[in-house]
Amino acid sequence: MGVDGAGILVVGATGAVGGQAAGQLAGRGAALALAGRDPGRLRERASALGGRPRRSFDAYDLDGCARLAAWAEGELGRLDALVVAVGVAGFGAAAEVSDASAEHLLTVNALAPMAVVRGSLDVLSPGGAVAVVTGAIVDRPVRGMADYAAAKTALATWLGVVGREVRRDRIGVMDVRMPHLDTPFAARAAVGTAPALGPGADPVEAVREHLVLPLLDALGR
């Protein structure tokens, strides 16, 4: 299955999941635009995929997040799909997590993805699709991750409602409940230290199965 020049914006393309999604979609013929925080890593990813348009952003700049889709449409000529794989882990008993850390986790894992999606709804072509990575934690919240789980669950709930609201515009909204993966995500936590999490799934296979193939399906490809 291919995507034959479909315009796709990957937000969080500097990360493991976003980078993997961008690579797989590029391999299937997508016209990609890439957004990420780290400018150096973003430049490398964009150039490794053949010189794609790129834009740096920070989750705390919600207006900037909301403008990403319009920027991508300007670069690509059309926007058929949006992938959002932005997030940061946080660990520790709820009583010990500071309000500043809680704000950070809610901003990066919920408010920023919501702003990116909100900014895309008037920009996506009819029949387009949005795929946002939440996580299996939404279905199985665990001790020591209350704030991270709350942020992902807020995002998942919001996506569910938005999906119903835009169905009449023929926009598909996917909540990608990715399983725990074999990536450095937990080691990059904004607060606390990860407990022993056990082996993670292969990111290549997981991104293909949970994100890329369902996205192609939603696009009717």
> CB–CB of 84/132 below 8 Å?
yes
- Rounded to a whole number of angstroms, the minimum distance from the CB of residue 94 to ligand NAP is 18
Amino acid making up residue 157: T
- Rounded to a whole number of angstroms, the minimum distance from the CB of residue 112 to ligand NAP is 6
> CB–CB of 191/88 below 8 Å?
no
> CB–CB of 89/185 below 8 Å?
yes
Binding mask 158-197 for ligand NAP (x = CB under 6 A): --------------------x-xx-x-x--x---------
Q: Which of 12, 64, 119, 172 binds ligand NAP (CB under 6 A)?
A: 12
Work out whether 24 is an interface residue with ligand NAP (CB under 6 A).
Answer: no
Site for ligand NAP in 29-58 (CB under 6 A): 36-38, 41, 58
Work out whether 64 is an interface residue with ligand NAP (CB under 6 A).
Answer: no
User: In terms of DSSP H, where are the helices of the chain?
Assistant: 16-27, 39-48, 62-66, 68-76, 99-106, 112-120, 146-166, 203-207, 213-218
Work out whether 214 is an interface residue with ligand NAP (CB under 6 A).
Answer: no
Residue 153's CB: how many other CB atoms inside 10 A? 18
For ligand NAP, the binding residues (CB under 6 A) are: 12, 14-18, 36-38, 41, 58-59, 85-88, 108, 133, 135, 178, 180-181, 183, 185, 188, 200
